[in-house]
């Protein structure tokens, strides 16, 4: 009797493998329709293209009623929600808002989407994302027309995504702004100086709540709005992000992981027992690839000096974009050739699919500088793949990585170069410690950073915001 079940299992596995391999081998935008992504940056516009492979458009097996009851967002059924995005692209901010749109659609909310800043080259990506939303029953319409104004006035809830989306309020709503403000939840994912402009955020004190990705970012916003702009933040809700179900599916599938690992290692020309330390972020100074390579070089020297026995070590820099960051990238490559470590450093172009790389590497390095990441979704994605994280002690990273348990933290800046080098050596020489850290990271993700955790956290925020906005409009 076991036979049919086994056969079924195998064909299911094959289908999934086929799907995963398709993702790996194909870079076509058609695939964008099947891909969902996440946030890994404080600045959604400078985010690396990095999206998890997903089979999110597969047939929903659960009947809607059961889904509604099970979801913590069930109370949003038949509520009208307007989502205001500053742009529609594959960067972190818009993709996260799309995830929210689909969570709400799953429980039967009416969801409308407007994009305030249509890029002048409204391209294939924009169209396929819009198409994907329309397919899931999200209404998409112009940010500037009467329909947007009417929907804002009718809506139970309006979510503004990113600080920049604030421009839409005066620009479009005009004399209706004050009517809409009590219904607004403002979702903020950025932590850079140029966002603290009154032009963007002057209405912030009057909306019902601000939802922010980490405590560090929330503190920063409180401080900056107060000190620089002399305005008060509204009620702040910190909501950590979660890993999508699709990413977890790949991360927890041993066969898929192995196939992806072999494939990527082959493409990089490294052996199966070599040690790979990877940094996965769009290449730019703020993400600290330069300092990482300095640390990596230093770690190779330490290993040589101390005659340590370790496998061949490699640094992988995923997120390269020579056209966008020519000067910085040239600097990185010059460093590598000056030090003669070309055989140990691999640059990989920006990619939509990070899962294969997470499957292929041994350690994730999160080296974002200055205030660090707002949250840094790649960190929890790596932990889902049981990878230890070597991260800067800044920003959201400190709220995700438990120093000494799920990874090791080092200071930002030049002071961090030697500590990171030593941490690289530690993980290279202590195999058991490395694997234990990876497992602990995975357990932490299962406990705190899953999609359903994010859904629960968002649900409690929406509940409170709805309640407050109702009592405001009554009084
Ligand atoms: C804001 O941060 C600065 C230092 O960065 C500090 O001196 C100041 O006291 C902080 N202000 C508030 C209101 O927390
Ligand atoms: C990476 O991108 C550069 C241009 O930015 C291109 O010339 C190169 O062929 C790409 N490499 C791969 C392997 O696709
Ligand atoms: C992390 O832990 C190590 C010891 O395991 C300690 O030396 C280091 O100072 C800690 N770093 C931070 C930022 O807490």
- CB of 227 closer than 6 A to ligand 1? yes
Give the pairing type, strands 345-349 and 363-366.
unpaired
Q: What is the largest CA-CA distance in the chain?
A: 74
What does DSSP assign to residue 107?
A: T
Provide CB contacts within 8 A for 73, sequence distance 6+.
103, 104, 106, 107, 109, 455, 458, 459, 462
Provide CB contacts within 8 A for 303, sequence distance 6+.
310, 313, 425, 428
- CB of 223 closer than 6 A to ligand 1? yes
User: In the CATH scheme, what is the code of domain 27-242+452-474?
Assistant: 3.40.50.2000
Distance CA 279, CA 350 (A): 12
Distance CA 424, CA 437 (A): 13
Distance CA 250, CA 276 (A): 20
225 Cα: distance to centroid of ligand 1 (angstroms): 11
CA end-to-end span of the chain, whole Å?
67
CB 369, CB 397: distance < 8 Å: no
Distance CA 281, CA 378 (A): 8
- CB of 342 closer than 6 A to ligand 2? no
Residue 157 has φ and ψ, to the nearest 5°, of -150, 140
Give me the tens of pLDDT residue by residue for the chain, a chain 475 residues long. Answer: 333 333 344 445 555 665 655 555 444 333 333 333 333 345 443 333 343 333 333 334 444 566 666 899 999 999 999 999 988 877 788 889 999 999 999 999 999 999 988 765 567 778 888 999 999 999 998 898 899 999 999 999 999 999 999 999 998 989 999 999 999 999 999 887 778 888 999 999 999 999 999 999 999 999 999 999 999 999 999 999 999 988 999 999 999 999 999 999 999 999 999 999 999 998 999 999 999 999 999 999 999 999 999 999 999 999 998 888 899 999 999 999 999 999 999 999 988 789 999 999 999 999 999 999 999 999 999 999 999 999 999 999 999 999 999 999 999 999 999 999 999 999 999 999 999 999 999 999 999 999 999 999 999 999 999 999 888 766 5
Question: What is the residue with the minimal CA distance to atom 13 of ligand 2?
Answer: 349
- Which one, of 123, 293, 235, 147, lies nearest residue 464 by Cα? 235
For residue 322, give the ligand nearest its CA: 2
Q: Which two tokens stand for residue 248?
A: 């977890």
Ligand 3: lining residues by beta carbon, under 6 Å:
393, 403-404, 409
* Other Cβ atoms within 10 Å of 434 Cβ, number: 18
User: Which residues of the chain are in CATH 3.40.50.2000 domains?
Assistant: 27-242+452-474, 248-448
- Which one, of 241, 240, 453, 266, lies nearest residue 359 by Cα? 266
In 9-89, at which residue ranges do the beta strands (DSSP E only) sit?
35-37, 51-53, 80-85
Residue length of the chain: 475
User: In the CATH scheme, what is the code of domain 248-448?
Assistant: 3.40.50.2000
- CB of 228 closer than 6 A to ligand 1? no
Structural Rg of the chain based on CA atoms:
23
């Amino acid at each position: 009797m076991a036979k049919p079940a086994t056969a079924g299992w195998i064909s299911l596995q094959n289908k999934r493998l086929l799907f995963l391999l398709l993702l790996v081998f194909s870079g076509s935008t058609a695939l964008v329709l099947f891909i969902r992504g996440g946030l890994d940056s404080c600045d959604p516009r400078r985010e690396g293209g990095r999206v998890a492979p997903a089979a999110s458009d597969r047939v929903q097996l659960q009947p809607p009623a059961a889904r509604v009851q099970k979801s913590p967002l069930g109370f949003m059924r038949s509520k009208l929600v307007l989502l205001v995005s500053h742009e529609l692209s594959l960067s972190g901010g818009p993709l996260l808002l799309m995830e929210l749109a689909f969570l709400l659609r799953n429980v039967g909310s009416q969801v409308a989407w407007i994009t305030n800043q249509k890029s002048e080259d409204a391209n294939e990506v924009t169209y396929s994302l819009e198409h994907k939303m329309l397919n899931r029953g999200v209404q998409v319409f112009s940010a500037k027309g009467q329909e947007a104004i009417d929907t804002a006035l009718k809506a139970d809830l309006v979510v503004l995504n990113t600080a920049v989306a604030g421009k839409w309020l005066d620009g479009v709503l005009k004399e209706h702004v004050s009517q809409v403000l009590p219904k607004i939840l403002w979702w903020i994912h950025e932590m850079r100086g140029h966002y603290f402009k009154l032009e963007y955020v002057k209405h912030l004190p009057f909306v019902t709540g601000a939802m922010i990705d980490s405590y560090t970012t929330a503190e920063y916003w409180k401080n900056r709005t107060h000190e620089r702009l002399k305005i008060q933040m509204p009620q702040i809700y910190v909501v950590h992000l979660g890993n999508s179900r699709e990413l977890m599916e790949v991360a927890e599938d041993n066969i898929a992981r192995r196939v992806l690992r072999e494939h990527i290692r082959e493409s990089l020309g490294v052996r199966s027992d070599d040690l790979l330390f990877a940094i996965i972020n769009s290449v730019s100074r703020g993400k600290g690839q330069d300092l990482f390579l300095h640390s990596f070089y230093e770690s190779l020297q330490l290993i040589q000096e101390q005659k340590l026995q370790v496998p061949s070590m490699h640094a992988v820099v995923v997120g390269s974009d020579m056209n966008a960051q020519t000067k910085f990238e040239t600097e990185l490559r010059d460093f590598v050739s000056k030090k003669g470590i070309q055989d140990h450093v691999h640059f990989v172009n920006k990619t939509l699919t990070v899962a294969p790389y997470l499957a292929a590497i041994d350690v994730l390095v999160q080296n974002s500088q200055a205030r660090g990441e707002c949250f840094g979704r790649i960190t929890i994605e790596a932990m889902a793949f049981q990878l230890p994280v070597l991260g800067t002690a800044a920003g959201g990273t400190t709220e995700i990585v438990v120093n000494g348990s799920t990874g090791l933290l080092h200071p930002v800046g030049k002071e961090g170069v030697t500590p990171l080098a030593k941490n690289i050596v530690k993980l290279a020489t202590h195999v058991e410690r490395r694997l234990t850290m990876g497992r602990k990271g995975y357990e932490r993700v299962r406990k705190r950073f899953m999609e359903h955790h994010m859904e629960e956290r968002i649900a409690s925020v929406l509940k409170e915001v709805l309640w407050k906005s109702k009592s405001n409009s009554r009084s």
